[in-house]
Amino acid sequence: MNGHKQSPQGKLTADRILSSAVNCARSAGVQWITRAEVARVASVQPAAVSYHWGSMLDLKRAVFAEAVRLHILPLIAQGLADGNEACRNAPAWLREKAANWSARRG
């Protein structure tokens, strides 16, 4: 999230945007999510995505971090392939599960 202080409502909006971005990434892959699509799914204006998350690169990094937190294997596998830091720093057992998931789909 951007470095500005957020109200409780702002935090809820940022969380909703992140959740929507994760859902979009699960459907299409992280590389294909757009500000407009995330905004549509989150029921916010595209400017709200930028306000809460900054660049799309920042949002995509947050999506990978959330994927690690939630153990979303397809997104972790994609993050490992892309060299994402959060995915590279995931516990070894989780990285292995994501790699196995990817190999089975391969």
How far lies 81's CA from each of 41, 74, 84, in Å? 26, 11, 8
Long-range (24+ apart) CB contacts under 8 A made by 94-100 are 94/68, 97/71, 97/73, 98/73, 98/74
On whether residue 53 sits in a domain, the answer given is yes
Does any domain span residue 21? Answer: yes
What is the gyration radius of the CA atoms in the chain, in angstroms?
14
Taking only the tens place, the pLDDT of each residue in 38-48 is 999 999 999 99
Residue 70's identity, in one-letter code, is L
Q: What is the pLDDT of residues 14-32, one digit of tens each?
A: 999 999 999 999 999 999 9
Number of domains in the chain: 1
Please indicate, yes or no, if residue 2 is contained in any of the structural domains: no
**Residue 40 lies in domain:** 8-105
33 domain-assigned: yes
Instruction: Establish if 41 belongs to a structural domain.
Output: yes
pTM above 0.75, yes or no: yes
Crossing angle of helices 35-42 and 8-28, in 10° steps, is 120
